[in-house]
Structure 1
């Protein structure tokens, strides 16, 4: 895609968008809180990304940096919560979409059947991944921000296609699930507050490179995550993980500088995930 065509595509997506697609996450105080000390990561955004403050039922639940062309979230920023409910029983055909990415003047994520989107569904499909992209693909709809890290309606808000990336089922239910469970069961109980950034390393930024679903949705090479835990005595713990989205599905512990250096090689960089390195 040429720079001119890219500019036209982004203009189409942005026209008429609500304020929930932001120039900076910090423009909305409720969204700023999802980042450690209110500072969003540096070096991961580009002209092809959109800052989404994820909102459902008038409430904000987490922040997403969404890549419009790869149609996957580069990262999600959220605060780890106690899970108070079971996984929502919601058919994947009813998972939420983001009307603001298609220029529809709605602030909340909406289900595909919502009348506010149905008459402009072609624009919605162009602007983001949808259920049909994943159907019969052999890959899971992988939560970048896992539902198990949230409570009640916050958990429901993670079931949106702007929070999904194609994930190998063995990896999804294997080593990556072990890590997500470790955060919920071990880290949450020892911290007064834990900020998490979880994202992907794409295999390509356009369908001529990497692996794609239906030439629309990029299949990431890796999933990554970093947490900044503030203990009750004021001390802190920061770690990263890097998981391979293909055999042998290894998930490896990384220091924050190591993870940032890996991300530097794919994104525009220099990448800084947490302010002052969570120190």
Structure 2
């Protein structure tokens, strides 16, 4: 796997340089005790030389201790331990994108709530796909607190979202089981976590912009499952709390049937027939990658977009009723542009991606297949062409912690 070998080779190159420098220091230090020993042997047995002898003996002792300590801290070559390659550094395979089935809670059932396509290199989600809870009372609880263990180690048996305390315990246990020595900076808990995904420190200048908003789900696991760093990207605070929040609320009211008066139906341009025919609402919300980065680690999207498909049940089949979408520049002055058909949004997205990422797409963008949602795990996820996102290699965190 080329994506796996490249980080290993990069790590090995850095280790080789450190080893070479430590070897040079050791070589010099080995000469010092030898010379001191030679001087000791030449000194007469007179009392007046006892102080000098003591200093020379201390120098010999200190040099030998330093030489031993250097030997202890020398990093091992990961390529010299084939049995550890998979587990020791599986955090650095960094295959992008990563398909995440967002799992949260301990209730009976599989506890999968929505799907996310995560860009490891840009450390942000490209889109989240979900079914809006049209009947429950929406309520947000708490903040963004959870991390995805399978981004840290793809071979992790447990895929459920974890808090910062639980994810740290998970990494520590993984290191212990696989005998990964934590004297290696790359094995340390904070470094592994920051390599794999965005963390709380990456959002100082931006809001944690939900792709799947908590407000589109009833209070409980469905809402709390959205509180993960794999479901948020850097978003303008003004845009997030202004026009984009207004659009999310509008979508909830429009298709959730939370109308306070007939004036709401007129304002939202929806008829009673449409409400009655809409049994399920499927939403895919995503971003267009931008050309700026937060701390050189997390990409700042240039646009946020959202597409929805409303269906009704006809016996055992879902029949599309209507679709739509929205697009908004990720700026303080960003204004939401709405589309009355998902097809129109797809055309606009293709143009934007080609412009923002300076590439030519060979295929059209299809968010829904004929507006029939494909969000179950037995089917494919909504398709965005593979050439729509420029492949990148993840940038390592600058600091070792």
Shared fold, TM over 0.5: yes
1:202 equivalenced with 2:269 (yes/no): no
The structure 2 residue matched to 1:76, chosen from 128, 132, 142, is 128
The residue number in structure 2 matching 1:116 is 170
The residue number in structure 2 matching 1:223 is 304
The residue number in structure 2 matching 1:132 is 201
* Whole-angstrom distance in 2 between the partners of 1:192 and 1:117: 43
Q: CA distance change for structure 1 residues 172 and 99 in 2, over 3 Å: closer, same or farther?
A: same
The structure 2 residue matched to 1:143, chosen from 168, 186, 210, is 210
Cα distance per residue 1:53-77 (max 9 Å; x no partner)? 0001351000000001111111101
Tell me how many residue pairs correspond in the alignment.
235
- Structural mapping, 1:37-56, within 5 Å: 48-56=96-104
Give 1:8 deviation, angstroms: 3.4
Match of 2:370, SS state, is: helix
Q: CA distance change for structure 1 residues 50 and 9 in 2, over 3 Å: closer, same or farther?
A: farther
Contact 2:307 2:323 in 1 (8 A): yes
- Structural mapping, 1:21-32, within 5 Å: none
Q: CA distance change for structure 1 residues 48 and 186 in 2, over 3 Å: closer, same or farther?
A: same
* Whole-angstrom distance in 2 between the partners of 1:155 and 1:85: 8
The residue number in structure 1 matching 2:18 is none
Q: Runs of 4 or more off by more than 4 Å in structure 1?
A: 3-7, 231-235
Contact 1:236 1:278 in 2 (8 A): no
Q: CA distance change for structure 1 residues 272 and 116 in 2, over 3 Å: closer, same or farther?
A: same
The residue number in structure 1 matching 2:151 is 101
The residue number in structure 2 matching 1:8 is 6
Contact 2:311 2:322 in 1 (8 A): yes
Q: CA distance change for structure 1 residues 6 and 256 in 2, over 3 Å: closer, same or farther?
A: farther
* Whole-angstrom distance in 1 between the partners of 2:370 and 2:312: 17
The residue number in structure 2 matching 1:236 is 321
Contact 1:238 1:278 in 2 (8 A): no
Give 1:84 deviation, angstroms: 2.9
Cα distance per residue 1:207-257 (max 9 Å; x no partner)? xxx111110111111000000011468560101110111142111012322
The residue number in structure 2 matching 1:89 is 142
Bigger relative contact order, structure 1 or 2, given CA contacts below 8 A and separation 6+?
A: 1
> Higher helix proportion, which one?
2
The structure 2 residue matched to 1:192, chosen from 266, 273, 279, is 279
Match of 2:349, SS state, is: helix
Q: CA distance change for structure 1 residues 105 and 9 in 2, over 3 Å: closer, same or farther?
A: farther
* Whole-angstrom distance in 2 between the partners of 1:167 and 1:132: 14
* Whole-angstrom distance in 2 between the partners of 1:123 and 1:100: 12
The residue number in structure 2 matching 1:43 is none
The residue number in structure 2 matching 1:256 is 342
Contact 1:143 1:164 in 2 (8 A): yes
TM-score of the pair, normalised by structure 1: 0.76
Any unmatched runs of 5+ in structure 2?
12-85, 88-94, 173-187, 258-274, 355-360, 374-401
Match of 1:75, SS state, is: strand
Aligned-residue RMSD, C-alpha: 2.8
Q: CA distance change for structure 1 residues 235 and 97 in 2, over 3 Å: closer, same or farther?
A: closer
> Higher strand proportion, which one?
1
TM-score of the pair, normalised by structure 2: 0.54
Rg larger in structure: 2
Give 1:105 deviation, angstroms: 3.5
